[in-house]
Amino acid sequence: MDWADSEKSYREQFIKDFEAKYPNIKIEYTLLTVDQFQNTILTAIKSGDAPDLFPIPATMKLSTAVKEGWYQPLDAYIDDAFKSSFVDGAFTEGTTMLDGKVYSIPALAGVPSTLVFFNKKLFQEAGLDSNKPPKTYSEFRDAAKKITAAGKGKYYGIIEGGKQIGRWKLAATEWSALAGSGFASESPVSLKDGQASYDSEAVLGVFDLFKGLKQDGSYHPKTMSLSAPEARALFAEGQAGFIVQGEWNVGTWTKNNPNLDFGVMAPPVPDAGQKGYLPRSTYAPWIGMSASTKHPEEAAIYLKEYFSKEYQSVLVQNGDRFSILKDVNESSAEIAQFKQYYEIVQQYSRLVPSVAVRNPGASAVMASFKDPKPGLGDILQGVVAGSLKDPAAPLKQLSGQIDKALDAAIDQAKAGGAKVDRSDFSFSNWSPDKDFSAEDYQALK
């Protein structure tokens, strides 16, 4: 059971092949949306009906799930050869491992999913050079404006799935990181100094950019009533010049919209220049084996086949995702834009430090952290919808609320026996232009 739906057609083939190869194993695969999954999984586990293999909800930490008795260690079922086929860092204490035991396997190489795709044909019609996509906020705004003007109501500068708060939040977090905010999705505060500085210049800059795009009329007028898949389909129909999205689109567009001539570029940076990097996080835990499974051997075989080079390279070839396996991305990527996406990611993103790796006890904090609402995504949506004229005040308020929420969560975690401190959330020796390494974690101790 999981929610990896862009993979659906490949997965179905995979299951067919798998069942042909192992005729005595039958796979029952259920695909849900994230909400439905969250809604179902607890009852499933409680009734002893948990699937043999299931992923961890995105906002949950592994230690919480293990403490709840959801998963069992995989060490007995996987060998070193299997483990070593993954990229370095895939199995790290605090994220996928606990107390030296492997509990979970990451789904994919975690790369930023807020790169910008652009329509080359519309670029041409607007007199823009698709070999030189805009680099800075002003250039980006300008390009979007030109495309809108050239479209005369037929197409617009930029389109987004405006209904989806999560996408707005991701854009605000990652783009502001590129401007030096020090934010990453994993932590509610800046990794630089541990402050909830949502009203910093870097963040305000991003908000001003989006506000400007709105004022220019560059947003596709349907933006606010679309979900991300709908926005993506309209982009593919040539209705907008830009869209902020992730790598999985490459596969979908290549397959469904052969006529779409699109390019991919890094997110724009402030006019004053790039001040940070897109955050790439330590590999997030994904699938694990149920503690109550009656078929551990069979489940292990499934994992082996699923994370085999053969199947993973199918995913990479088709532009569905970047694999967590070593070398597969380099050797199997075929689609030009997919390769390019990978290159941009290498150039513009860096591995950011993880609070959970530094101090596994910190996951208790996130287990009791309560999101203040309206959050970052809500505010950005409000700005683009035109409901919020000035984002500065709500952002300032949000900073204060997150600050308080984090302190409260830390207190609660401490009361529960966790050894954790607010200082665990800031990394004094982090320089954003370098991958944060194991040695860096060592140095902090």
Partner 1 sequence: MRQLRKSLFHLIMVAFCFVWIYPFLWMLSAAFKTDGEFFSNGLKLIPDRFKLDNFKRAWEGANFDTYFLNSVVISASTILLVLFATATCGYIMGRHSFRGKKIVFALLVASMFVPMEFAIIPIFDLIKNLGLMNNLFGVILAEAGGNHIIFILLFATFFREIPNELEEAAVVDGSGFFRTFAQIMLPLAKPVVGSVTIMQFIWSWNSFMLPLILTLSKPDLRPLAVGLYALQGENVVDWTGIAAGGAIAILPIVVIFLLLQRFFVDGVAGAVKG
Partner 2 sequence: MGRTGESKKSRRKVQAWCWLFLTPTLLLFLAFQAWPILAGIYYAMLDWSGLTSDSTFVGTDNFVSVANDYYFWNAFKNSFKFMLGVVPLHLIVPLILAVILNRPGLRGASFYRTLIFLPVVTTTSIVGIIMVFIWGSDGAVNGALQSIGLLDAPIDWLGDPSWSMFTVVIVSVWKNLGINMVYWLAGLQSIPKELYEAAEMDGARGSKLFFRITVPLLLPIGAVILLLNVVNSLKAFDLIKTMTNGGPFFATDVVSTYIYRYAFSSEMGLPQLGYAAAAGIFFAVTICVLAVAQNVITKRIKGRSSL
- Beta-carbon contacts of 202 under 8 Å, excluding residues fewer than 6 positions away, are 176, 177, 179, 180, 181, 270, 275, 276
Site string for partner 2, 103-142 (x = CB under 8 A): ----------------------------------------
Residue 216 beta carbon to partner 2: minimum distance, rounded to whole angstroms: 15
Query: Do residues 394 and 375 lie in contact, with contact meaning Cβ atoms separated by under 8 Å?
Result: no
Q: Which is nearer to partner 1, 27 or 444 (CB)?
A: 27
On the 0-12 / 13-18 / 19+ scale of CB atoms within 10 A, 302 is buried
What distance in Å separates the CA atoms of residue 383 and residue 226, rounded to the nearest whole number?
16
How many CB atoms lie under 10 A from the CB of residue 35?
9
What distance in Å separates the CA atoms of residue 211 and residue 125, rounded to the nearest whole number?
25
Binding of partner 1 by 183 (CB under 8 A): no
- Residue 179 interacts, among partner 1, partner 2, none and using kind-specific CB cut-offs from 5 to 8 Å, with none
- Residue 256 interacts, among partner 2, partner 1, none and using kind-specific CB cut-offs from 5 to 8 Å, with partner 1
What distance in Å separates the CA atoms of residue 444 and residue 371, rounded to the nearest whole number?
28
CA contacts within 13 A on the Cβ side of 125: 22
**Residue (of 17, 9, 33, 12) closest to 255 by Cα position:** 9
Binding of partner 1 by 33 (CB under 8 A): yes
Q: Which is nearer to partner 2, 30 or 39 (CB)?
A: 39
What the block records as the tokens of 443 is 């140095």
How many CB atoms lie under 10 A from the CB of residue 66?
22
Binding of partner 2 by 381 (CB under 8 A): yes
Cis peptide before 374 (omega within 30 of 0): yes
Binding of partner 1 by 252 (CB under 8 A): yes
Residue 383 beta carbon to partner 1: minimum distance, rounded to whole angstroms: 25
Query: Do residues 140 and 146 lie in contact, with contact meaning Cβ atoms separated by under 8 Å?
Result: no
Q: Which residue has the tokens 């293999």?
A: 53
Contact region with partner 2 (CB under 8 A), list: 8-16, 30-38, 140-148, 328-336: 30-38
Site string for partner 1, 253-282 (x = CB under 8 A): ---xx-------------------------
Residue 445 beta carbon to partner 2: minimum distance, rounded to whole angstroms: 26
Q: Which residues would be at the binding site for partner 1 (CB under 8 A)?
A: 3, 5-6, 8, 28, 30-34, 36, 39-40, 42-44, 46-47, 49, 227-230, 233-234, 236-237, 248, 252, 256-257
Q: Which residues would be at the binding site for partner 2 (CB under 8 A)?
A: 34-35, 38-39, 41-42, 57, 59-60, 64, 67-68, 153, 162-166, 169, 185, 188, 221-227, 230, 366-371, 373-378, 381-382, 385-388, 405, 409
